[in-house]
Structure 1
Amino acid sequence: MRGVTMRIPNFIVLAGLLALPGLATFANGAELQNERSAVEECGAHSESAMRECLSKRSQQSKRMLEQAEAQAAARLSMWDEDSKYISRAKEKLRTSSKAFEQYRDAQCAFDSSLGGGAIGNALEMRRLGCLIGLNTRRSEQLNSTVAALPAK
C-alpha cells in the first residue's frame, strides 16, 4: 500500500508539470516532446529523486545553451562579412544572451508562482521544467539562426 500512496503524489506532481503553460503553447512538436520527455522520465522516480533528475536535466540544458552560444559566436567569426558587421553581431549576441537569461529567470519564477499553494518542492520542479524548456528552445533558436550564414 505504501508504494501506491507514494505514486499518487508523484502522479499529481507529474500531471502538474505536464500542464505547464509553456508546454501547451509550443510551435514545434519536437521541442514539446523534448521537454515532456524530460518531465516524464524524471516522473518515474520518487518525489525527491524527481527533483534531483530535473535539476540534472536543467544543468544539462544550461550546458547545451552555453555550447550553442559558443558555437554561434564561432560561426559569426567565420561569417563571410565585413569585420565591423561581425563585431556588431557578436555584441548583439552577447546582449541577447544576457537579456534571455533575465527573461528566463523572470519567466520561470512566474511559472513557478502558478503552482499556488503547492509545497516548495513542487514549485521548484515547475521552475526546473521551465528552465529546461526555455534553455532548449533558445539553443535551437541560436543554432538555426546562424546555420545559414555563408562562411569565408
Structure 2
Amino acid sequence: MQRKISVSTLTLTLTLTLAILSTFISSAPLAAVESEHESRLACSEFSQAGLRDCLAAKASESESKLEHAERDAAVTLSRWDEDDRYVRSAQNNLVQANRAFRHYRATQCGLIASLTGGAAGNAHDIGQLACAASLNTARADDLRNATSSLPPR
C-alpha cells in the first residue's frame, strides 16, 4: 500500500527537522557562555563588596539580554511561516518554558547561594548573582539558536 503525504505535512516535518538539527549544530554559542567561576574571576580584582557589585551588573546585563532574546523569540514565532496551530502551540510552549526557566533559575541559584553555608559578607549574593548571570546568558543563547532558522512568512 502506497501512502500519500501532503505537502503541508512534508513541509512541517522538514521544518521541524531542520529546526532541531540547527539547534544541535549551533548549540555552541558564537561567544562562549561565561560560567559562574569565570564571572567571579572577571570580577575578582575588586574587594568583596566590589565583587558583589560587579556580579550584580553582570546579572542585570544578562537579564536584559534574556528579556531581549525572549521578545525576539516571540516575534520570530509570530512571523513563522507555519500553520497557525503549530505557531500557537510554539508560542504557548515558549511562555511556559520562560516561566519554568525562571523557576529553575531561582531554585538553582538558591542552591548555589546556600552552598556557601555560614560564610560572612556578600558570599551568598556573590554565588547567586554569578549563577544568575551564567544561566541567563545560556538561556538567551538557547532561545536564539532554537528560533534563528525558522522561516518567516
Normalised TM-score (structure 2)? 0.75
Cα distance in structure 2, aligned partners of 1:148 and 1:101? 25
TM superposition shift of 1:127 = 0.6
Question: AA paired with 2:94?
Answer: L
* Structure 2 letter corresponding to 1:30: A
Deviation at 1:120, TM superposition (A): 4.6
What does 1:62-141 align with in structure 2 at a 5 Å threshold? 62-141=63-142
Matches of 1:109 and 1:120, distance apart in 2 = 17
Aligned residues, how many? 125
C-alpha distance in 2, partners of 1:51/1:35? 13
Instruction: Pick which of 121-130 and 37-46 moved more.
Output: 37-46
The root-mean-square deviation of aligned C-alpha atoms, in Å, is 1.9
**Larger Cα-atom Rg:** 2
Counterparts in 2 of 1:116 and 1:35: CA distance versus 1, 3 Å: closer
Structure 1 position 37, deviation (Å): 4.3
TM-score by length of 1: 0.76
Aligned-pair CA distance for 1:56: 1.0
Gaps spanning 5+ residues in structure 2: where?
Answer: 1-26
Cα offset, 1:107, TM superposition: 0.5
Query: Aligned match of 1:30 in 3, 21, 32?
Result: 32
Deviation at 1:41, TM superposition (A): 2.3
**Equivalent residue letter for 1:79:** W
Partners of 1:120 and 1:104 in 2: CA distance: 23
- C-alpha distance in structure 2 between counterparts of 1:77 and 1:121, whole Å: 43
Counterparts of 1:100 and 1:128 in 2: how far apart (Å)?
16
Return the alpha-carbon distance in structure 2 between the equivalents of residues 108 and 35 of structure 1.
10
Deviations 1:48-77 (A, max 9, x none): 111111111100000000000000001111
The structure with higher relative contact order (CA 8 Å, sep 6+) is 2
Structure 1 residue 84, shift from structure 2 partner: 2.0
Match of 1:51 in 2: 52
